[in-house]
Amino acid sequence: MSELQAGQTAPDFELPDQTGAPVRLSQFRGKAAVVLFFYPKDDTTGCTIEACAFRDEMPRFDAAGAKVMGVSSDSSQSHARFAGKHDLSFTLLADKGGRVRKMYGASGLMLGLIPGRVTFVIDRSGTIRHVFSSQTAFRKHIEEALRALAQD
């Protein structure tokens, strides 16, 4: 499947968060915009930079009425350790097997080994408003998401 684009409806899914509790994308429809960012792996250098940048900008995401959720194939337990170690205040979702990553077309493997780093901004109605993909511009994912939220 190719990567989803702005203007398309974001596919619904259910994944466990870092506590093991199920989270459905549709539970935010009509309530909050969602910034859904796919990242390769907990506690690696680039992913830690990205996650901490999202953490540091949470007041701006909160002010924009947006829920931030990170997705990787790591387990809920790994996510809990990662969130605790770096004081991450947003939801991390465990996509074991990469089903949701594939659904969103965010697989884009770098060097055939590292899963893609893609951020989707989804409005309150469930429509994708912005997509940003960059394996190495870690902080730019946050800038792009905030800019897209400001335009909505």
Active centre residues (catalytic): 47
- In whole angstroms, how far apart are CA 65 and each of 77, 84, 96, 117, 141? 28, 24, 28, 23, 18
- State how far the Cα of 143 lies from the Cα of 19, in Å rounded to an integer: 28
45-56 helix and 76-86 helix, angle to the nearest 10 degrees? 60
Query: Tokens representing 117?
Result: 């780093």
Kindly give the residue spans of alpha helices, DSSP state H, lying in the chain.
45-56, 58-63, 76-86, 99-103, 140-151
Is the Cβ–Cβ distance between 37 and 139 less than 8 Å?
Answer: no
Query: Tokens representing 31?
Result: 């309530």
Q: How far is CA 135 from the centre of its chain?
A: 14
